[in-house]
Structure 1
């Protein structure tokens, strides 16, 4: 009984909403068009990166080994970013070790990381050569990656340390 009432209520709401959206506002011809004196300005930020896209960015070392990902960026009171909090190890956020590194020690790179490891299977084709999610199948070329200048964030960051060195750093804790 309750289910029939809910279904009837939803159907009635959908009918009323459809009628409301179908109505067109009436045009009045007795008013003059507004003058086009206001100018609109848009600000462009070509070459800038969005802070919201930096969270989750993969961090590699100089040997192109994935050592973690950026979890957070901490800034001072003037708004300058001072610290990058990097998550090392763990699986799906469980057991992850957070470390704080000076932001100026990170180097950001727009080009994808090239795979440099050797295959253990002599007949295997090389793995995908990018970290940007390019197609790895033979039906789509690897040129489907987005231009790094138009995606508003770098491909990855580089920090000169191994995964073990980061794990051995003091764990970062957010103080209350």
Structure 2
């Protein structure tokens, strides 16, 4: 009985190895195909001719909902209030609202607040860098060293999502707003 199990295991291993080898190795030419001289050399393969052209939508004012999620949202005071967590559409496909995750720490204790899409001012330009803090005046002799001013990050170019959004609410107002709940089915 033990010899039979070992033999079956060995045969199974050989079959698996043969299948894996067959899937990973491709022949350099079809085994039964002989080179034909009657076909014109300038014709393209049939797979390229049937392939539809690609459509590049970047820079055409279209955004991907999956990329909009996670975009930073800033309040009227130019302080970050949260991130986009969901994009809500009506049944015709029109974007009605975005939800913004506010409060909490590292996602724990945060809640989502719905904001009408029209109330968000979207920007492709990065937020301006804050003015550098003044250098400490003590501890150096012969003058104070100052760090060079921080440059604003470079614009992203034609992307499929905005850099950030700005709303006319503060973090405190969003924190006190009702949380979004989704009915479960």
Answer yes or no: same fold by TM over 0.5. yes
Using the alignment, how far apart are the partners of 1:75 and 1:19 within structure 2? 44
Question: 1:13: Cα distance to partner?
Answer: 4.4
Residue in 2 aligned with 1:40? 52
The alignment of Structure 1 onto Structure 2 pairs a total of residues equal to: 152
**Structure 1 residues 1-176: aligned runs within 5 Å:** 13=17, 17=21, 20-21=24-25, 23-26=27-30, 28-30=34-36, 32=39, 40-45=52-57, 46-117=60-131, 119=133, 121-122=135-136, 125=147, 126-127=149-150, 129-130=152-153, 145=154, 147-149=156-158, 151-176=159-184
Q: CA RMSD in A?
A: 3.3
Greater shift after overlay, 39-48 or 53-62?
Answer: 39-48
Question: 1:49: Cα distance to partner?
Answer: 1.5
- Structure 1 residues without counterparts, runs of 5 or longer: 131-144
Using the alignment, how far apart are the partners of 1:154 and 1:14 within structure 2? 51
29 and 49 in structure 1: CA distance in 2 versus 1, 3 angstrom threshold: same
Question: 1:168: Cα distance to partner?
Answer: 0.9
Using the alignment, how far apart are the partners of 1:14 and 1:89 within structure 2? 56
63 and 16 in structure 1: CA distance in 2 versus 1, 3 angstrom threshold: same
Using the alignment, how far apart are the partners of 1:78 and 1:16 within structure 2? 48
90 and 128 in structure 1: CA distance in 2 versus 1, 3 angstrom threshold: farther
- Structure 2 residues without counterparts, runs of 5 or longer: 1-8, 137-144
Question: 1:173: Cα distance to partner?
Answer: 1.1
Per-residue CA deviation, residues 71-130 of structure 1 (Å, 9 max, x unaligned), is 001110001010111001222210112101111101110110012355264456345634
Using the alignment, how far apart are the partners of 2:107 and 2:20 within structure 1? 46
Question: 1:162: Cα distance to partner?
Answer: 0.6
